[in-house]
C-alpha cells in the first residue's frame, strides 16, 4: 500500500510499504476513506528532537471501512464505516471503565494512518461504527470525531463548561475552533475567541463565538474582562500548548475558574502562589476520544453541529507533502487527505 | 483588651491593646467565645521571612457573640452567636456571586482573633448566625466551621469527590483529618488516610477512613494502588503544601483523577508532561468558607458530623504561647483557645 513516511524535519514522502495484516484475533484492518494532518504531526515535521527518528509512518486521525476482522471481533463487521479514535483502547480495563480510554492499560497509537490501510488493535474497544449510509458530505464532519472535535470538547469538559458559562478560547487552530463549537454545544452563555486571523475568526463565529479578541497578553486579558463583567471567564480553553498560551489562559480566567488544556505543553510554567490565592484550576490532557463518541456522534449525524468546517483544504494522499507544507506555513488550518 | 501578638519567630505574647471600634457602618464587633491556632499561623512562628514583621496581632479562626453592630448591619444582631469565616467578604460582588468569597473584591483578613474582641468588616456578608441556644459541647464543632473543616471540605470539593469516589488524603493535620470527614460526607466509597501518627490515625478512622497507609513516596503510592484496584484514586486531597506532599498526591491519583489542594504551596513543582499524558488535574486554593457554611452548618447542628474532634487540646487564652509551642512541637494536633 501507499503510506506517508516522515524521514526527518520537513521530509514527508509517500512510499510503498507492505499491507498491514491481522496480528491478533481482536484486530481489524480498516481501509482509509479520509485522514488528516494534526497540529501535533507538525512537531516532528519541524524538529527532530520531538519524535521522528529515521523513516517511519505517521498520522493518527482517520475514518474508513472495515476490510478484515480477527476471529474475536464482535462489535464491528467487514463493510462497516467506522470512526477511529486517535488512540486504540480495549474499553474494558479499569481505566477505560472510568472513561479515561486515553490511558487504557492496553492502549496505544497506530503505526500510521496517512495511508491506505490501518491495523487497529482491540477493534471492538476502539472503533465506532457509523449507522446507515454515509454521504460524501458527511465525511469531513465524521473525520473530526477521530481527534480534533473531541479534543476541543475535552478542553471544554475539562474547563467545566456548562449551562450559562462564560468561556475564553486561547488558540485559533482547528482544536481551538472545535473548542468554541464544543463550548456552545455544552450551553456556554458567552464564548470569546482569541484570534487575529480573519478566516479563522469567521469559522469561530460560525461555531457560535459571541466575541473575538485580537489583543494578546495583558491587553488581551483586559479586553476579555471588559466583555465578561470585569472578572474574567469561568472557563478558559487552552488549545495551543506554549508558555505564552498558558499564561494567556491564566490571565483570562476568573478566581475560582478552570483552565482546560489540550495543547501538548512545551515549556509551560505555572505560577502556583497565584493559582492558590485565586483558586485557578487546571484540568485536561490527552483527550479520551472513545469515551466521548457516543455523546458526540448523534449530534454530527443529525446535523446539529458541523465540526468539519475546520477543514479548509482537501488533497489527494499523493499530495501529502504539500498538505504538511500548507499547514506548516499556515496557508491551511487543517487539511483532509483522500487516498 | 488582651490580644495575642507575634513579635517574631517563636515569640508569642499576650498583651493589652485598645479595644476595636466600629469603623464603618457595615462593621460588627464580636466578643470571642473560642479561637484556635491554625497550621498557617506556624509559618511566621517558625520563620520571619513568611510574615511577621515587628509586633502584630495574629489569628483568624473564631466564633463569638456579636457585641456591637454598625447602622447598616441587618443580617446579624447584638447577642447573636456567630461563626466568622477566616476572611471577610461583602457577599455581593461578582466574585462572591460566583461562590468564591475568598476572592471578594472588598474582602480581606482580620487584624487578629486570638484575643477578646474582633472588628468584622462587612458583617452581613461575612458572619453566619447560629440559630437557637449554643451548648458548650457544640462550641468546638462550630469553631471548626471558621476554617479547618470547610478547608478540608474545599479540598474534597476541588478534588471532585462524589458518590462512590475513591479518595486518598495526604496530610494528617487538622485539615487532612477534616478532609477525611468531608470526603465521607460527600459520599466517598473508600477513603485512604496517609498517616504515621497513631492518635491521628484514630481520629481519621473515627471520621470514616477505611484504610490507613503509613508508607510514603513511591512505596506509599503503591500501597494506595493496591487498595484501590491497581489504578490510584479518583480524588486526592493534598492538605500539606510541601513539595513532597504534592508529589505524593500526584503519585497516588489515577489517570483522569483530580488533586484537590488546600495546603499553601511552598516550593511545589509540577510535572506538566506527566499531568498532560495522564489527565491528572489540579484544583483548589484558599477555601471560600462563607460559601460553604449554609451547606455545612446544619450537619454540625444536628450532630451528623463531629468535626470538633480535631481539637485535642483546650487552653486559656492566657496560655496562648504554650498553644503555639504544643502545635509547633506536634504535641497537639489543634488547640482551642478560650478567652
The residue extents of the domains of chain B are 2-147+288-338, 149-284
CB spacing of B286 vs A264 below 8 angstroms: no
Smallest Cα distance from B102 to chain A, Å: 8
Grid coordinates belonging to B5: 501578638
Q: Average of pLDDT values for B119-131?
A: 98
d(CA B189, CA B209): 10
> In a structure prediction context, what are the per-residue pLDDT tens digits for chain A, which is 339 residues long?
999 999 989 999 999 999 999 999 999 999 999 999 998 899 889 885 655 567 999 999 999 999 999 999 999 999 999 999 999 999 999 999 999 999 999 999 999 999 999 999 999 999 999 999 999 999 999 999 999 999 999 999 999 999 999 999 999 999 999 999 999 999 999 999 999 999 999 999 999 999 999 999 999 999 999 999 999 999 999 999 999 999 999 999 999 999 999 999 989 999 999 999 999 999 999 999 999 999 999 999 999 999 999 999 999 999 999 999 999 999 999 999 999
* Mean of the per-residue pLDDT values of chain B: 96
Q: Which residues on A lie below 8 Å from B275 (Cβ)? A: 282, 285
pLDDT at residue B50 is higher than 60: no
Measured in whole angstroms, the distance separating CA B38 from the mean position of its chain's CA atoms is: 7
* Mean of the per-residue pLDDT values of chain A: 96
Smallest Cα distance from B2 to chain A, Å: 31
Q: Average of pLDDT values for B17-34?
A: 98
Check for a shared fold between A2-147+288-338 and A149-284.
no
Q: Average of pLDDT values for B204-229?
A: 97
pLDDT at residue B54 is higher than 80: no
Q: Quick one: pLDDT at residue A52? A: 52
The single residue listed with the C-alpha cell 467565645 is B33
pLDDT at residue B52 is higher than 70: no
C-alpha distances in Å from residue B149, one per residue of A1, A54, B154, B183, B311 = 64, 57, 9, 11, 12
The single residue listed with the C-alpha cell 460588627 is B28
In terms of Cα–Cα distance, which of A337, A300, A297 is closest to A315? A337
d(CA A29, CA A69): 6
User: What is the Cα Rg of chain A in Å?
Assistant: 20
Q: Dihedral sign for Cα A42, A46, A47, A48, please.
A: positive
Complex ipTM value? 0.95
Q: Quick one: pLDDT at residue B92? A: 97
Q: Which residues on A lie below 8 Å from B230 (Cβ)? A: 94
CB spacing of B255 vs A230 below 8 angstroms: no
What pLDDT digit, counting tens, does each position of B70-81 carry? Answer: 999 999 999 999
d(CA A65, CA A33): 7
The single residue listed with the C-alpha cell 487539511 is A335
In terms of Cα–Cα distance, which of A132, A121, A50 is closest to A91? A121
Is A48 in contact with A86 (CB distance < 8 Å)? no
d(CA A212, CA B219): 50
Q: Which residues on A lie below 8 Å from B100 (Cβ)? A: 254-256, 279
Nearest to B102 among A99, A279, A286 (CB): A279
d(CA B257, CA A315): 40
Nearest to A279 among B103, B230, B273 (CB): B103
Nearest-5° angle of CA A122, CA A123, CA A126? 85
Q: Quick one: pLDDT at residue A40? A: 87
Q: Quick one: pLDDT at residue B43? A: 86
**Long-range own/partner contacts, residues A214-219 (CB < 8 A, 24 or more apart):** A216/A244, A216/A248, A217/A244, A217/A247, A217/A248, A217/A251, A218/A251
Query: May I ask the CATH architecture of the domain A149-284?
Result: 3-Layer(aba) Sandwich (3.40)
What pLDDT digit, counting tens, does each position of A188-202 carry? Answer: 999 999 999 999 999
Q: Tell me the residues of B at the A interface, defined by beta carbons under 8 Å apart.
A: 94-95, 98-100, 102-103, 158, 229-231, 234, 254-256, 258, 261, 264-265, 268, 270, 272-273, 275-286, 288
| Superfamily of chain region A2-147+288-338 | Medium-chain alcohol dehydrogenases, catalytic domain (3.90.180.10)
Find which of A6-15, B37-46, B174-183 is predicted with most confidence, using mean pLDDT. Answer: B174-183
Q: CB under 8 Å to A243, separation ≥6 — which residues?
A: A266, A267, A268, A269
The interaxial angle of helices A198-206 and A174-185, nearest 10 deg, is 20
Mutate to test the interface with B, among A151, A231, A289 (most CBs of B within 10 A): A231
Q: Which residues on A lie below 8 Å from B94 (Cβ)? A: 229-231
Amino acid at each position: 500500500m501507499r503510506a506517508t513516511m516522515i524521514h526527518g524535519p520537513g521530509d514527508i514522502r509517500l512510499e510503498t510499504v507492505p499491507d498491514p495484516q491481522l496480528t491478533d484475533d481482536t484486530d481489524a484492518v480498516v481501509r482509509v476513506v479520509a485522514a488528516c494532518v494534526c497540529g501535533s504531526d507538525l512537531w516532528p515535521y519541524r524538529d527532530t528532537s520531538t519524535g521522528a527518528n529515521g523513516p517511519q509512518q505517521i498520522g493518527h486521525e482517520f475514518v474508513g471501512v472495515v476490510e478484515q476482522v480477527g476471529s474475536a471481533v464482535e462489535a464491528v463487521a467487514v463493510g462497516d464505516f467506522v470512526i477511529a479514535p486517535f488512540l486504540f483502547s480495549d474499553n474494558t480495563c479499569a481505566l477505560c471503565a472510568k472513561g479515561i480510554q486515553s490511558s487504557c492499560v492496553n492502549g496505544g497509537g497506530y503505526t500510521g494512518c496517512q495511508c491506505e490501510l490501518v491495523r487497529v488493535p482491540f477493534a471492538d474497544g476502539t472503533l465506532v461504527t457509523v449507522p446507515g449510509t454515509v454521504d460524501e458530505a458527511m465525511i469531513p464532519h465524521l473525520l473530526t470525531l477521530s481527534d480534533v472535535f473531541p479534543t476541543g470538547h475535552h478542553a471544554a469538559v475539562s474547563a467545566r463548561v456548562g449551562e450559562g458559562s462564560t468561556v475564553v478560547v486561547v488558540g485559533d487552530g482547528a482544536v481551538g475552533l472545535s473548542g468554541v463549537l464544543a463550548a456552545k454545544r455544552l450551553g456556554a452563555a458567552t464564548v470569546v475567541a482569541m484570534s487575529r486571523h480573519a478566516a479563522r475568526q469567521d469559522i469561530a463565529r460560525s461555531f457560535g463565538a459571541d466575541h473575538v479578541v485580537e489583543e494578546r497578553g495583558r491587553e488581551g486579558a483586559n479586553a476579555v474582562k471588559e466583555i465578561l463583567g470585569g472578572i474574567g471567564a469561568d472557563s478558559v480553553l487552552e488549545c495551543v500548548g506554549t508558555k505564552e498560551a498558558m499564561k494567556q489562559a491564566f490571565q483570562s480566567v476568573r478566581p475560582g475558574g478552570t483552565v482546560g488544556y489540550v495543547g501538548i505543553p512545551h515549556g509551560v510554567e505555572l505560577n502556583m502562589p497565584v493559582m492558590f490565592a485565586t483558586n485557578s484550576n487546571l484540568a485536561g490532557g490527552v483527550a479520551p476520544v472513545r469515551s466521548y463518541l457516543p455523546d458526540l456522534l448523534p449530534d454530527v449525524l443529525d446535523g446539529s453541529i458541523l465540526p468539519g468546517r475546520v477543514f479548509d483544504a482537501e488533497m489527494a494522499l499523493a499530495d501529502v507533502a504539500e498538505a504538511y507544507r500548507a499547514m506548516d506555513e499556515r496557508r491551511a488550518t487543517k487539511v483532509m487527505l483522500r487516498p
